[in-house]
Structure 1
Amino acid sequence: MKSLLILGAGTSGTMMANHLVSKLPKKEWKITIIDQHKTHYYQPGFLFLPFDIYTTKQIKKNGKKFIPKKVNYIQEKIELIKPKENKVILGNGDVLNYDVLIVATGTDIAPEETEGMSGPEWHKSIFDFYTYKGAKALRNKLRDWQGGKLVVHITEMPIKCPVAPLEFAFLADSYFKHKGIRDKIDITFVTPLDGAFTKPKATEALHYLLEEKDIKEVTDFNIERIDYENNKIIDYADIEVAYDLLVTVPTNMGDSLIQRSGMGDDLNYIPTNKSTLQTKDYENIFAIGDATNLPASKAGSVAHFEAEILTENILRFIKGEPLKEEFDGHANCFIETGEGKALLIDFNYNQEPVKGTFPFPGVGPLKLLEESRTNHMGKMAFRWIYWNMLIKGIHIPFVSATMSKQGKQLDEA
């Protein structure tokens, strides 16, 4: 019997297990998924936990319940991939052979990469919200914080969900307004990019939100170190930004497993064909989601679209058929803007976010690049969709894996 291994049981890995279990020939293939962690987190919920919008119970569940019963589930650390030998070595010493390997090991924060970030003030006056522990600690801090200089900061790109730091700034504005202390808080958004949004057209169209909410902006800030004793961040040009409370997005890096296995780039991301999701160095190894070096957004929606295309390419590969060069970098992201509103952006490798309607042309009900309460409701509904459809590999109706051009004011070539 042939073996297909999936490394990682997060969003991407769990989706792939659910997609493939009903499609691979059962008498010929055994599917095994490996992950050292018992808990599966709804990572978009980390944004809402600091503001008491979600509870801890709403964003974490036992991961095993989402793994199909016909898939062999191993809860163990993955020590090493030996791609030339088609082997995976586990932390307990077990060696697993594979015919096809899917790497879905994700990405994580690396605060130790920036001087002073993970020092004695970590989770005291310097916080992240990209981990469960960080988001929970920040929630406890914000409940009692009475004001001062709040700095929301991005260390470097790429990061998971590139719009999340900006969403945090918008939600902070709304949160402190409702607490009646917004006038006691100065909010500054600091980014290494030349604009607040990752896409220039979105920056141009939506910059008014920063001005409207009185959020200061510092761009082109490439942090060198954090002076936690004097509460300031300092970039390589010696520009300083003072803070009382720093909410930072540390450097994001792929799993150290990728480094140990000699398969990644400088940030431990795997070189991957951006259209087929086959790794560039090994034809029987595929990568998905945040583990790849694709020039696409590291977001759950992207992994969802990738999974549908990768499933077909896995089936093609085992049949010896040419792979489909179909993935176009499609991303579909809600952006919370506070006060019960959100906007929606839809884009891919070549097309920046544009105005229009989604998912139905001319009808919506969601509008692109426009704030609305309907978009906010869509963002809130996504948690249910995630737990009940997305990670179970159930196709979301009317939403295609590749970006649809219908109902959108596309750029003219």
Structure 2
Amino acid sequence: MKTLAILGAGTAGTMMANHLHRELTKRREHGEWRIVIVDERTEHYYQPGWLFVPFDIYAPEDTVKPLADFIPDGVELLTRSVERIDTAHSQILLADGTSLVYDVLIIATGCKIAPEETPGMLGPQWRQSIFDFYTFDGSVALRDHLRTWTGGRLVVHITEMPIKCPVAPLEFAFLADSYFRHRGIRDQVELVFVTPLSGAFTKPKATEALDHLLTQKHIRLETDFAVERIDDERRVLVDYGGREIPFDLLVTVPLNKGDALMERSGLGDDLNYVPTNRGTLQSVAAANVFVIGDATNLPASKAGSVAHFEAEILTANVLHFIAGEPLQEEFDGHANCFIETGDGKAILIDFNYTHEPVEGTFPFPGVGPLRLLSESRTNHMGKMAFRWIYWHMLLPGHHLPFVSTHMQEAGKHYT
């Protein structure tokens, strides 16, 4: 019996376990396969939900379920820490001194925040006047702080790109505007959005629309800010040129990095992301190793929708590899993201490696019902429905009806 190992039981890893269990069970011509998924955690988090916890839109318990509930019968769940991947001998060295030999490996270890990389971020003000919402504990701590906060200068800050869910900091700023208005203290809050980019987002067309919304909502935009340190005594962000941005409350997105396991294994780049073929999702390091989701170094958005589209393509390529067939360069960088803009509205963007977000309709050309690059309540309903879709369709590895793995140009306005 051969072994297919999956490292990481987050969004991407869990989807792959379900996809491959289903396919390999049907395709007996590929022989008998043992599928093992390895993760030290016992809980699965709906990470997009952490955006809503600080504003009491979701309760913390809405974002967490037992990890084992989503691993199909017939797939082994190994709750262990991993010390190193030895690609030369196709084995995973576990922290308890044992090892797991594999025939095919899928790396789905995601990425994590690294606040320790920015001097001063983890100082005395951490979780006092400096908060994150990219962790479960961080989102809950920020919720508790916002409930009694009476106003001042709130700075929403991105340390460096790439980050997981690149629109989330903007969404936080928009939701904060709405939250403080409903509390009746918006005139006591100065909102500032600070980014290392030259605009609000990475794509020009979307940036134009989002810059307009920031202006409309009286959120000050500070661009091209590369933070060097945080002076938490004075409560000031300092960039490499000496420019300073003061804050009363800082909501920061720390540097994002791939798992430290990649550094220990000699598989990662400077940020521990794994060099990956952008079309096939095969690792550069070894032919029998594949990479998916936030663990890759691909120039695609680090978002759940991307992992979903990658999973369908990677499943086909793993089957091609097992059968000794050529891999297909099918992944086009497709991503679609709902951007909450507050007051029960959202924007939807759809893009890939070569096409930036434009106006149009989704998923049906000319019909919608969702409108691209345009605020609507229907888009907001789509965003809120995604939590159910995540638990019941994405994680179990079901295809989303009417949503293509590849970006479709029909229904979009490119002129």
**TM-score bucket of the superposed structures, by smaller chain:** over 0.9
- Structure 2 equivalent of residue 218 of structure 1: 222
Q: Does 1:110 find its partner at 2:105?
A: no
> What is the CA-CA distance between 1:206 and the residue it aligns to?
3.0
Structure 2 segments unaligned to the other structure (5+ residues): none
The Cα offsets for residues 367-390 of structure 1, whole Å up to 9 and x where unpaired, read as 000000000000000000000000
Say whether the 8 Å CA contact 1:152–1:247 is kept in structure 2. Answer: yes
- CA distance in 1 between counterparts of 2:215 and 2:238 reads 24
Greater CA drift, 196-205 or 228-237: 196-205
Tell me what 1:4 maps to.
Answer: 4
Q: For 2:299 and 2:71, how far apart are their aligned partners in 1?
A: 29
Alignment of 1:8-407 (within 5 A): 8-24=8-24, 25=27, 27-407=31-411
Unpaired segments ≥5 residues, structure 1: none
Residue identity opposite 1:400 in structure 2:
S
- Say if 1:358 and 1:364, in contact at 8 Å, map to a contact too: yes
Residues 128 and 247 of structure 1 are in contact (CA less than 8 Å); yes or no, is this contact kept in structure 2? yes
CA contact (8 A) 1:127 1:246 kept: yes
- Equivalent residues of 1:330, 1:347 under 8 A apart: yes
- C-alpha distance in structure 1 between counterparts of 2:358 and 2:79, whole Å: 43
CA contact (8 A) 1:342 1:371 kept: yes
Give the C-alpha shift of residue 46 in structure 1. 0.6
Q: 2: distance between equivalents of 1:226 and 1:295?
A: 29
CA distance in 1, matches of 2:99, 2:292: 23
CA contact (8 A) 1:354 1:409 kept: yes
Deviation at 1:99, TM superposition (A): 0.4
TM-aligned CA deviation for residue 56 of structure 1: 1.1
> In structure 1, what is the Cα distance between the partners aligned to 2:312 and 2:344?
32
- Give the whole-Å Cα distance in 2 for the aligned partners of 1:101 and 1:68: 18
Query: Is the Cα contact below 8 Å between 1:163 and 1:198 reproduced in 2?
Result: no
Structure 1 Cα separation of the partners of residues 211 and 183 of structure 2 = 25
8 Å Cα contact 1:105/1:255 also seen in 2: yes
Structure 2 counterpart of 1:16, one-letter code: M
1:20-54 deviations in Å (ceiling 9; x for gaps): 00111465110000000011000000100000000
For residues 341 and 362 of structure 1, the distance between their equivalents in structure 2, rounded to whole angstroms, comes to 21
Deviations 1:303-349 (A, max 9, x none): 00000000000000000101110100000000000000000000000
Measured after TM superposition, the shift of residue 205 of structure 1 is 2.8
Deviations 1:76-117 (A, max 9, x none): 111110011100011111110000000000000000000000
Summarize deviations over 1:189-215 as a string: whole Å, max 9, x none.
000000011211111233210111000
Query: Secondary structure of 2:286's partner?
Result: coil
Task: Tell me the TM-score normalized by structure 1.
Answer: 0.99
User: Amino acid of the residue matched to residue 167 of structure 1?
Assistant: E
* Cα deviations by residue, 1:9-28 (Å, 9 ceiling, x for unpaired): 00000000000001114651
Could you state the TM-score of these two structures normalised by the residue count of structure 2?
0.98
Q: Between Structure 1 and Structure 2, how many residues are aligned?
A: 411
Quick one: percent identity of the two aligned structures? 66
- Give the whole-Å Cα distance in 1 for the aligned partners of 2:236 and 2:125: 12
SS of corresponding position for 2:124: coil
> What is the CA distance between 1:244 and its match in structure 2?
0.3
Are the aligned partners of 1:351 and 1:410 in contact in 2 as well (CA < 8 Å)? no
1:114-164 CA-to-partner distances (Å, cap 9, x unmatched) read 000011111111000000011110000000000000000000000000000
8 Å contact from structure 1 (residues 276, 323) kept in 2: yes
Distance 1:22 1:123 in 2: 43
| 2-structure distance, mates of 1:33, 1:127 | 32
SS in structure 1 at match of 2:250: strand
The runs of at least 4 aligned residues of structure 1 exceeding 3 Å deviation read none
What's the secondary structure of 2:23's corresponding residue?
coil
